[in-house]
Every structure is written in structure tokens, then in C-alpha cells.
Amino acid sequence: MKGVRENFSRYDTADYLNTEADIAAYLEACAEEAPNDAPFMLKALGTAARARNMSQLAEATGMTRAGLYKALSGEGNPSLANTMKVAKALGYRLALVPDHD
């Protein structure tokens, strides 16, 4: 069928993180998949943040919504302090664990 175009909607993982258990499982899987990949983990935090309310998260962290979107895009470069604020606002904390690779 030449000339027929398929239209697909954009996939967003955040649309499927409906519960706190979903978010926790997602973040855990991301941490297991790429524990030393900072942009990947920031994007995972951003996905979890979008699954929640970004405006409330911005208020809780003292950051702007635009600043949060940029920092958590995977292309941003947020400070460790801001990353820790986001994690705390989401109900998590960053922890250092021995690397057994």
C-alpha cells in the first residue's frame, strides 16, 4: 500500500506510572540498568516527576517548572544539591553503595 502513512502517538513512560509502586519499580529498574549513567538517571527522575505534579514538585524544591524540566531532561546539568532536592521531593534519597562490578 504505497502512499499510506501510519500515525503514531508519542510514547511517554510517565503516562504509565500510575502508582507510587510503579514509580518505585521504574526508578529501581533504571538504577539497575545504568547506575553510573548520570543523564539516564536524571531523565528517569524527570519521568517520575512528570508522573506526579511538576508544579507541586517545583514548589517543594524551590525551583521553577522550566528549570526542573531542563535539569531533568537528561541533557541538563543540575547540581548535586538540586538533584537531592528533587529526589527528596519525590520521596527518595540519594545513597552511595559499594560498586561490585
Over 12-72, what HEC string results? CHHHHCCCHHHHHHHHHHHHHHCCCCHHHHHHHHHHHHHHCCHHHHHHHHCCCHHHHHHHC
Residue 40 in grid coordinates? 539516564
Q: What is the pLDDT of residue 3?
A: 79
pTM, to two decimals: 0.83
pLDDT tens digits, 33-75:
998 999 999 999 999 999 998 999 999 999 999 999 998 887 8
Average pLDDT estimate for 3-18: 91
Q: What is the pLDDT of residue 2?
A: 76
Domain positions in the chain are 38-93
Average pLDDT estimate for 5-15: 91
Domain 38-93 has CATH 1.10.260: yes
Residue 37 in grid coordinates? 549513567
